[in-house]
Structure 1
């Protein structure tokens, strides 16, 4: 990336949908990919480091869940969301897998909150229009 190019206009961010859509997708992708890194680190490091990697994975999952919740709080209504954001918010249920891998039960519950809120806001918007 050239030094004068802003991060928001980089090729990766543009390819992920740009702006808030890219942020929501990264909140889902990073914890899911970090599972592989977690297993590799656990396999090659001494047993005394395993709790460190476990809590690092839990922190990454928590950051992803909080990021998606924050984005939903900023864009609660489907009709006012940027294109692709609803899909990115609904796919955040995949954060369930990294939370289950690390037995992080608050993460398991938290991973289901955003998709339920998105579905609930879509239903509320439909009833409000009818």
Structure 2
């Protein structure tokens, strides 16, 4: 499974995991809207909370990956970019009105920027 074509195209290993943490919640927005339109109105809260759970899992995933690879110089190629663009998780958080995730989506990119600044200042 780890050597699948999709994982390889996403950068493999931890880079693919970080990218999937951002891609899956964004793509699930489409499923969220489709399910909300075709199911009875009573199911809409189920889909809203499912989307919120998916976004929360994405945020937790990129944060966990950052804690395993905090320094840019020791990260696999492409991981810094994947962690930095995790601010895109704001979109699915805003769609469902999940404000803790809106703010949480900026935590990992700010940590990535902060670690890059600290690492650069250390080398000076």
TM range (shorter): over 0.9
Question: What is the CA distance between 1:51 and its match in structure 2?
Answer: 0.3
For 1:77, the equivalent position in structure 2 comes to 71
Question: In structure 1, what is the Cα distance between the partners aligned to 2:53 and 2:110?
Answer: 22
Aligned with 1:87 (options 81, 89, 100):
81
TM-score of the superposition, structure 1-length normalised? 0.95
Report SS of the residue matched to 1:9: coil
Question: In structure 1, what is the Cα distance between the partners aligned to 2:113 and 2:81?
Answer: 11
Gap regions ≥5 residues in structure 1: 1-6
Pairwise mapping of residues 14-93 of structure 1 onto structure 2 (< 5 A)? 14-93=8-87
The one-character-per-residue Cα deviations of 1:29-52 (angstroms, maximum 9, x if unpaired) are 000000000000000010100000
Q: What RMSD in Å do the two structures reach over aligned CA positions?
A: 0.3
For the pair 1:103 / 2:97, whether they are aligned, the reply is: yes
Gap regions ≥5 residues in structure 2: none
Report SS of the residue matched to 2:35: helix
For 1:4, the equivalent position in structure 2 comes to none
The one-character-per-residue Cα deviations of 1:78-130 (angstroms, maximum 9, x if unpaired) are 00000000000001000000000000011001100000000000000000111
Question: What is the CA distance between 1:76 and its match in structure 2?
Answer: 0.1
Question: In structure 2, what is the Cα distance between the partners aligned to 1:45 and 1:8?
Answer: 35
> Which 4+ runs in 1 deviate beyond 2 A?
none
Question: In structure 2, what is the Cα distance between the partners aligned to 1:44 and 1:29?
Answer: 24
The one-character-per-residue Cα deviations of 1:34-72 (angstroms, maximum 9, x if unpaired) are 000000000001010000000000000000000000000
Question: In structure 2, what is the Cα distance between the partners aligned to 1:66 and 1:37?
Answer: 21
Question: What is the CA distance between 1:14 and its match in structure 2?
Answer: 0.4
